[in-house]
């Protein structure tokens, strides 16, 4: 008991110190100390995006901020964390920029292509499935992870056991996402039973208060919500798609795509990718297969 009390006091002190240290900095984007070595004298010949970044002296990276474990912004500390965030930081370090030079910008699923086309972000890391339709507008490095569409329900739900049990059920997803499209294309529930919002956290709120029966998107995202809601929700666990996650890039910047693919490949080979996974998504105990980079 005394040991636990002491530990609690020490922890509280450490938290207080951390909080003090952050005062005055609106956004803490620092990576875990020493995780990524910042490359020197980086050149990406023929990359207009890299030229722009160099001139600006900082990076603007599109992310999600409401997906715990992947892309999450702590509302009290403004600190970003998650697998996607660390992948974004790794890329910035290998482009020669300290992680503190990243400005994260929240872009919801439906707005990703346009943000890249407009040049509002230099690259995008946020559960972004590589597919043919999107490749007409943007380009992708990766995949750096492969997820699968699944369902999130209340813990005590027994009648939703997979994609073919959704008829007559209210299902929530996000506008412009591949899971929302699949649920409609495959008519897994009636048209009027599909609810769409800008972010998955809005769907989770509706699920918790009983306004919808299920939330559908990638299993990796749903597992994060289930963990955050501490026993109130469960992931059904029968995936019904393959969602290869890519780094979204401006369409015509092949030089930058090749460079980012090199960075990802090196991280898969030297253990960095595994370290990032273990420190974020892997904390729940689930393992993941290393993805195979698809150069095109
Ligand atoms: N991976 C899917 C997609 O890119 C769902 C997750 C998301 O909306 O970001 O559409």
Interval 235-268: pLDDT, tens:
999 999 999 999 999 999 999 999 999 999 999 9
Tell me the average pLDDT across 42-51: 98
Q: Is residue 292 part of a domain?
A: no
Q: Is residue 290 part of a domain?
A: no
With bands split at pLDDT 50, 70 and 90, how would you rate the model's confidence at 31? Answer: very low
Contact 67, 127 (CB under 8 A): yes
If asked whether residues 128 and 154 sit together in one domain, one would say no
Token pair recorded at residue 94: 């290998």
If asked whether residues 77 and 122 sit together in one domain, one would say yes
In 166-271, alpha helices (H): 178-185, 200-208, 219-228, 254-270
Distance 18 CA to ligand 1 centre (A): 33
Q: Which residue has the higher pLDDT, 51 or 99?
A: 51
Q: What is the DSSP secondary structure assignment for residue 281, as one 8-state letter? A: G
If asked whether residues 188 and 108 sit together in one domain, one would say no
Provide the pLDDT for residue 284. 76
- Sheet of strand 243-250, all strands in order from the earlier edge strand to the far edge: 102-106, 59-63, 123-124, 243-250, 138-147
Query: What does the alpha-carbon distance between residue 54 and residue 17 come to, in Å, rounded to a whole number?
Result: 35
For 153-166, write each residue's pLDDT tens digit. 999 999 999 999 99
If asked whether residues 27 and 137 sit together in one domain, one would say yes
Output the residue whose Cα is nearest ligand 1's atom 6: 127
Nearest atom, ligand 1, residue 200 CA:
8
If asked whether residues 94 and 159 sit together in one domain, one would say no
Distance 240 CA to ligand 1 centre (A): 14
If asked whether residues 162 and 272 sit together in one domain, one would say no
Beta bridge partners of 194: 171
Ranges 4-18, 25-39, 63-77: which has the least confidence: 4-18
Nearest atom, ligand 1, residue 221 CA:
6
If asked whether residues 113 and 49 sit together in one domain, one would say yes
Output the residue whose Cα is nearest ligand 1's atom 5: 177
If asked whether residues 86 and 176 sit together in one domain, one would say no
Query: Among residues 156, 176, 179, 160, which one has the least CA distance to residue 168?
Result: 160
Q: Which long-range contacts (CB under 8 A, 24 or more apart) does 270-274 make?
A: 272/36, 272/90, 273/144
Nearest atom, ligand 1, residue 174 CA:
8
Output the residue whose Cα is nearest ligand 1's atom 8: 177
For 47-79, write each residue's pLDDT tens digit. 999 999 999 999 999 999 999 999 999 999 999
Provide the pLDDT for residue 34. 53
Distance 126 CA to ligand 1 centre (A): 8
Peptide bond into 6 cis (omega under 30): no
Output the residue whose Cα is nearest ligand 1's atom 9: 127
Contact 106, 98 (CB under 8 A): no
The domain total for the chain is 2
Nearest atom, ligand 1, residue 180 CA:
10
Query: What does the alpha-carbon distance between residue 49 and residue 198 come to, in Å, rounded to a whole number?
Result: 28
Ligand 1 environment, Cβ below 6 A? 109, 126-129, 174, 177-179, 217-218, 243
Query: What does the alpha-carbon distance between residue 207 and residue 200 come to, in Å, rounded to a whole number?
Result: 11
If asked whether residues 55 and 192 sit together in one domain, one would say no
Which of 150, 177, 181 has the most ligand 1 atoms within 8 A of CB, as the residue to mutate? 177
Provide the pLDDT for residue 79. 92
If asked whether residues 132 and 228 sit together in one domain, one would say no
Contact 245, 130 (CB under 8 A): yes
- pLDDT above 70: residue 19: no
Nearest atom, ligand 1, residue 245 CA:
1
Residue 207 structural domain: 149-235
Predicted TM-score (pTM) of the model is: 0.89
With bands split at pLDDT 50, 70 and 90, how would you rate the model's confidence at 194? Answer: very high
Which of 133, 181, 218 has the most ligand 1 atoms within 8 A of CB, as the residue to mutate? 218
If asked whether residues 136 and 254 sit together in one domain, one would say yes
If asked whether residues 166 and 126 sit together in one domain, one would say no
Tell me the average pLDDT across 222-238: 95
Nearest atom, ligand 1, residue 243 CA:
1
Domain of residue 195, CATH code:
3.40.190.10
Residue for token digits 């439906």?
110
């Amino acid at each position: 008991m005394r040991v636990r009390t002491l530990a609690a006091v020490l922890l509280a002190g450490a938290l207080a110190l951390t909080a003090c240290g952050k005062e005055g900095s609106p956004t803490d984007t620092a990576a875990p100390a020493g995780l990524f070595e910042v490359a020197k004298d980086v050149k990406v010949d023929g990359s207009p995006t890299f030229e722009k970044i160099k001139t600006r002296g900082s990076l603007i990276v599109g992310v999600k901020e409401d997906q715990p474990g992947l892309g999450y912004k702590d509302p009290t500390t403004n600190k970003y964390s998650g697998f996607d965030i660390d992948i974004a930081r790794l890329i910035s370090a290998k482009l020669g920029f300290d992680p503190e030079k990243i400005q994260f910008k929240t872009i919801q699923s439906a707005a990703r292509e346009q943000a890249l086309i407009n040049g509002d972000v230099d690259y995008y890391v946020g559960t972004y499935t590589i597919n043919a339709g999107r490749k007409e507008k943007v380009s992708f490095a990766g995949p750096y992870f492969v997820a699968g569409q699944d369902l999130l329900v209340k813990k005590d739900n027994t009648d939703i056991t997979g994609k073919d049990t959704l008829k007559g059920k209210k299902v929530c997803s996000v506008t412009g996402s591949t899971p929302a499209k699949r649920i409609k294309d495959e008519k897994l529930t009636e048209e009027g039973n599909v609810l769409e919002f800008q972010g998955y956290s809005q769907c989770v709120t509706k699920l918790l208060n009983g306004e919808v029966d299920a939330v559908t998107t990638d299993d990796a995202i749903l597992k994060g919500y289930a963990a955050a809601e501490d026993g109130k929700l469960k992931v059904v666990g029968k995936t019904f798609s393959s969602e290869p996650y890519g780094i979204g890039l401006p369409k015509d910047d092949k030089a930058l795509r090749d460079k980012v693919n090199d960075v990802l490949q090196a991280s898969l080979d030297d253990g960095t990718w595994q370290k990032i996974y273990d420190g974020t998504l892997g904390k729940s105990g689930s393992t993941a297969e290393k993805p195979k980079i698809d150069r095109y």
